[in-house]
Amino acid sequence: MEEVVRKEILYDLQETITILEQREKRDIEELQKLSNHAIEDVAVHKNLDLISVTVLIYSLYKIIASIPEKDYRNILNQLRNARESLERNQLGRYNSNVKTLFQAVKKCNAKVKVHLQDVMEAAKLKKSAVLFEKGLSIGQAAGLMGLSNWDLQAYAGKTTALDQHEENIPAAKRVSTALKLFGVS
């Protein structure tokens, strides 16, 4: 694992732990912000470990309010274990911790278990759309999240988020730059 990716994952895990240490109503909003931050890292590094952590954070954001206290504490402890394993560069143990975290989230309660697959699929779709919005191709964005191009295209066609793009550079300057790039000035 690249050191820069390891540091990003450690940051994301530590922030998740910090958010969850005191169970509060604002945890949902903070997890959403962290999830949005994490997808920026995925767009830059295109790393599978980052993707897993990002999907985990997004899944927690979607279900955290309905998790019973005992399961909540278990997930918090598992997050700490994952962080400690990664800090010690014990990657096999870290991967096992992440797998255990996903299993813990899935088994929290019957309602969560039934809906988690939908939540995780929705997380992949949403985060793929964000990657697409950040400039990755549909193929790259879908591939990084383990989706087919068709799935992402269908989602991208239904969402209005991609239509809200505002160009920061005036058209005349973009045309001028393009002409200079191709030597036609």
Q: What is the pLDDT of residues 35-66, one digit of tens each?
A: 888 888 877 887 878 888 988 898 888 888 88
Domain count of the fold of the chain = 1
> Which has the higher per-residue pLDDT, 31 or 143?
31
Domain region containing 54: 3-164
**Residue 185 belongs to some domain of the structure:** no
135, two tokens: 């400039």
Q: Is residue 180 in a domain?
A: no
Give CA–CA dist 119/98, Å, rounded: 17
- The answer to whether residue 31 is domain-embedded is yes
Tens of pLDDT along 117-159?
666 677 777 778 888 877 888 888 888 878 888 888 887 777 7
Using CA atoms, how far apart are residues 152 and 167, in angstroms rounded to an integer?
Answer: 23
Residue 170 maps to a domain: no
Is the residue at 182 inside a domain?
A: no
- Model confidence pTM above 0.75: no
Residue identified by tokens 């920026």 is 40
8 domain residue, yes or no? yes
Q: Is residue 86 part of a domain?
A: yes
Q: How many Å apart are CA 110 and CA 81, to the nearest integer?
A: 25
